[in-house]
Structures are given as C-alpha cells and as structure tokens.
Amino acid sequence: MAIELIVLDFGSQYTQLIARRLREVGVYTEIYPYFTPTKDLLAKNPKGIILSGGPASVYDKDAYRCAPELFETNLPMLGICYGMQLLVDSFGGQVRAAHRQEFGKAHLELLEKHPLLEGVDNLSVVWMSHADRVESLPPNFKALAKSANTPFCAIAHTTKPLFGLQFHPEVVHSVQGTQILKNFALKICGCKATWDMQTFASQEIAKIKEKVGTDRILCAVSGGVDSSVVASLCYKAVGAQTEAVFVDHGLLRLGEKEQVVKMFTDLKIPLHVVDASSLFLERLRGVSEPEEKRKIIGMAFIEVFEKKAKELEKRGKIKYLAQGTLYPDVIESVSVKGPSKVIKSHHNVGGLPEKMDFVLLEPLRELFKDEVRALGAQLGLPQDMLKRHPFPGPGLAIRILGAIGYDSLELVRLADQIFIQALHDAKLYHSVWQAFCVLLNVCSVGVMGDNRTYDNTLALRAVCASDGMSAHFAPLPFEFLESVANKIINEVKGINRVVYDITSKPPGTIEWE
C-alpha cells in the first residue's frame, strides 16, 4: 500500500497516536526516526510530513533535529509541539522555556479561518503538554489560533505549506484534534483515505506467509485478545506450521487456564499447554522490585518457549516466536523508532533477553488495543473473546506489591474473581476498559466481631480508556463498590480493608507495577 504521510519521530510518547488517528480516517501513515536521511524519506513518495512532539528542547545544543534540507522540499509539513518549535527555530523564530509549564486542557481561540482548522469550533478543548514555548514567530509565519496562556497555539506560513500546533491533536482530550489531522492530510496534502482493517488483515497475513515460508512459528498465547489475534493471523497465514503455546506461569487468575483451553478448542487452533509455575515462582521468590520482576518473567517465558520449541522440533525447526506485542507495550518499554523514555519494561518487550534462539514476529506492534479488537472482529473471532479486559503477561505478579507468595496469590485470585463477577452481574464489565485487584502488602487494624484484626489491604482498580496510553479511573457507583468491598472482606480471609484507586494515567499507570 502506498504511503500517504510520514510521521518523523522526535521521541514523543504519543507519536504512534498520530499515525493511529490518521488510520482512523483511512490515511496510511508510517513512522520514521527523526534522523532518517531526506533522500530516504523522499523515496517513499509521501504527500506530507508530520514532525512529532518530543522530550527535548530545541535550544539545547544536542537537540534532536531532522536534516535541514527537509525544509526545502516544499512538502506540506505539520509540526506538533516540539515539532512546531523545531519548525519555528529552523526558520528564525524564538523558542524559550515557558515561565509556567502547561499541562492539560486549554481552549483554542480561533484568530482566522483556515483550511487546517476547518470544522473546528471556537474555544474547542485542546490538550497541552509543554515546558517550552514559542516567543516570536519567524518571518512570514502567522498565528491561526491562541489560548489564554499560549499566543501561538496554531501557526502557518503565509505562502509555504508549513504549519504548527503547540497542542497535541492526537490525544483524545483534544476534542476536535482528529478533525485537524484530517484537514492536514486530506485538504492540505491531498492524501487518499483508502486504508481499512480489512486491508491491514490481508497485508499482515501475506507478510507472515512470505516471511515465514516453509519455517515454523511458535505462537505465545495468553488467552488475551492480542495473542489470540496473532495466533489467528499466523494460523490463517501458514496453518499447521503454527504451534500455539500457552504457559501456566502460576500467576494466572482463577479458572484462567481452563477458559483459554476452551477458547482455542472453539477456534479449532491446536494448543500446547505448558505448566511452568514452579519455575516462575521459584525465580520470583523474594523479589520485590517491579522492574526486576518483569525482567525475570520475560526471561523465564523465553526459556520455557525455547525448551518447548526443542521438543516440537521433531516436526521441523521453529525459527519464529510470534507474540501479541502492542504499541503501548513498545513505547513504554523501549523507543520504537525514535528516542522516547522508558516507563516500564513490558514483559514481552523490555523483558526479553538479548540473545534468543528465535526471530520475533510481532504483527500488532504498531496497533492499539481497540484496533486489535477491530482486527479480531475482521478475522471472525468471537465477541466475548474480543471484549475481555486486558490481562498483562506478568499476570498477578505485578498486582501483588512486593514479594510474591502462594498465600498472597490465593488472596488476589479470590478477590479478583469476586470483583469481576460483580461487574458482570451489575452489567458494568463492558463499561470499563480494565478492572482488577491489587494486593498492597500493607496491613492495617480492623475490628471483626469483637476481635481485633491486623490484615491485608486490597485496592480495587477500574479504568476507562480507549488505547491504554491514557486512562481515567472508572466512576463506579458507591453502592456497587460498597457491596464488592463487603463481599471481599467477608469471603476472603486475610483481607480486612478495601480501597478504590482514583488515580488516572498519567500521572499513574494502569497497573501498579
């Protein structure tokens, strides 16, 4: 499929969101690192370029800069946040540290009519996240919109197709942000809106088929949406050359293994189940540091897969390991194509050993959860599987703060079962993006009957999100929370206090570790 737009990545946590918003409006977009030579970018024949945000400051001497000749190509260009500041700095304007950093919502005051802002309401809410700001525009640039704190919210060159936005149109909090990106793509660059999930599915199946050839794939399956979609893609691409493997690492929820086995039986994809719980629990014994837990789990997974692959090699060498890595896992663990910051090592990305016997196959690496759900529907997977809440690879290990023991695993399992069942019973399960329990490793005093208790505290976590990159705590009804807390305290011996987590992401993350 021909590339319509290129996003140059300067390390923003939101770079992929830009590409994703453009996919939503049907525009096929690829991301390249900011240092990609101009001739390589031009060889892709894009109709326009977007410069992403990034954590650096343009006035630093080692600031990330693209090749200066890129600005001479006459291609339409849209700079977002750092991207706009880079544009301003490169054309002779001034960027400085802002007196006050600006994070959060602002209202866009439109200063003139312009195709970039067509269909955008005056005072529309946009989302700011910047510590630097443009002090003065370069010659021949003008402001299209301002906000209470930012005189240059949207800018344009008076004759060349160069544009800048100080806010982030790609995040959901910028209410009409997609409209602005759509205007840039369709009205200014003249892109075609021909990308859809069906095209993506057939492209990925063809890519897997071509890449794998006569080799074999070990497909790591967790029972979650992502790995099930990957298994289905692999199975559609190379059929029985796919070996789907589910590892019971001892950190699963109640009844999880049985559910996964049933799901794969229904899908008619053969599944190998490996019980490796003692290996994982032994390695994790006494380990309390979250990143260490994640790395241990990542390594143990690979070890188990390599062992299983050896066993299966009677049928032919297994060259590939397919896994359901998503974009949020990648961006928060390692920089994808640019220089973004590590937030936590997702087990399937940052937690992998440097040397592995496998070549990785990660067909969902650039997608977000809701896109994977749409892809799954396209592939014909059942709705109840597609609508399951995400369950992270490290499982309950990152929902028990501190060291993990059999007793604490048992407590979280029972409490989690009560919480999730209650959400189903109250028909609230599908109104939240993810819900789970966290054992806090904090004891507090209580009174039950006439006796003093000194037992564990459990946190209930439920969030609303669309892609997992940002999330808001779910406003579950108090009566519901009260009845769940009562049930847990009455039925799970060892828990005498239940709290509800009201932190959003950012500043928190969804999981506690």
Binding-site ranges for ligand XMP (CB under 6 A): 328-329, 332, 344, 346-348, 390, 392-394, 434, 468, 505, 509-511
**Size (the chain), residues:** 513
Is residue 223 marked as binding? yes
Distance CA 469, CA 171 (A): 9
Q: What's the Cα-to-Cα distance from 96 to each of 59, 107, 511, rounded to whole Å?
A: 7, 22, 36
Phi, psi of 10 (to 5 degrees): -105, 15
Which residues are designated catalytic?
81, 168, 170
Nearer to ligand XMP, 157 or 347 (CB): 347
CB of 405 to ligand XMP, least distance (A): 21
Phi, psi of 403 (to 5 degrees): -70, 150
CB of 395 to ligand XMP, least distance (A): 9
Nearer to ligand XMP, 137 or 474 (CB): 474
Give the dihedral sign, CA 55/61/66/68. positive
Distance CA 331, CA 341 (A): 8
Nearer to ligand XMP, 65 or 389 (CB): 389
Is residue 227 marked as binding? yes
Q: Please, are residues 328 and 469 in contact by the beta-carbon 8 Å criterion? A: yes
Question: Radius of gyration of the chain from Cα atoms?
Answer: 25
Distance CA 511, CA 466 (A): 16
State the residue for tokens 């602002």.
106
Nearer to ligand XMP, 53 or 393 (CB): 393
Sequence-ordered list of residues with C-beta below 8 angstroms from that of 102, at least 6 positions apart, any chain: 128, 129, 130, 133, 149, 150
State the residue for tokens 């006569």.
214
Distance CA 170, CA 13 (A): 11
Nearer to ligand XMP, 95 or 251 (CB): 251
Question: How many other CB atoms sit within 10 Å of the CB of residue 261?
Answer: 14
Question: How many other CB atoms sit within 10 Å of the CB of residue 285?
Answer: 10
CB of 477 to ligand XMP, least distance (A): 23
Nearer to ligand XMP, 63 or 274 (CB): 274
E strands in 72-140: 77-80, 94-110, 124-136
CB of 421 to ligand XMP, least distance (A): 19
Is residue 225 marked as binding? yes
CB of 418 to ligand XMP, least distance (A): 19
Is residue 222 marked as binding? yes
Phi, psi of 436 (to 5 degrees): -165, 175
CB of 286 to ligand XMP, least distance (A): 21
Binding residues for ATP: 222-228
Binding residues: 222-228
